[in-house]
Amino acid sequence: MTDKKSIVAVDDSGLILKVLEKLLSEEYAYHAFSKGMRALKYLKDEKKPDLIILDIDMPEINGYEMLEMIREKDELKEVPVLFLTSNNDKEHVIKAIKGGANDYTVKPIDEEVFMDKVRKLLNEEKKKLSWDDV
């Protein structure tokens, strides 16, 4: 049996974390944090995850600040980061991508789109048929 890929999600909404748990925990090792500083401590002390999901608007430390810290840490520089937020203004998307996020999606969660983005960031896209398969 192979180890499950690990996903860390950080959002101050317990409801969102529960929805993510429902979507992710069967396929992936899911670690949820409602406080950014706790998540950063986990990221500092534990094995690096395969994907990090961040909200933008959180107390204590916001998603942009977390992303900056994640990108400063050598062990985490290459870990894909997906922003999941209710901020869908163009300037937020641009700021996130320029800051080093790999993708951006908005709440409420469209489960199919969200899972497609997760799989893509984890390099688990469904195999596309080619002429060689025929």
Domain 6-125 in CATH 3.40.50.2300? The answer is yes
Q: What is the pLDDT of residue 6?
A: 97
Share of the chain above pLDDT 70, in %: 92
Statement: residue 1 has pLDDT above 70: no
Q: Which of 46, 54, 2, 10 is nearest to 28 (CA)?
A: 2
Q: What is the pLDDT of residue 75?
A: 93
Q: pTM score, two decimals?
A: 0.89
**129: pLDDT confidence band, cut at 50, 70 and 90?**
low
Q: What is the pLDDT of residue 87?
A: 86
Cβ atoms of 76 and 70 within 8 Å: the answer is yes
Spans of all domains in the chain: 6-125
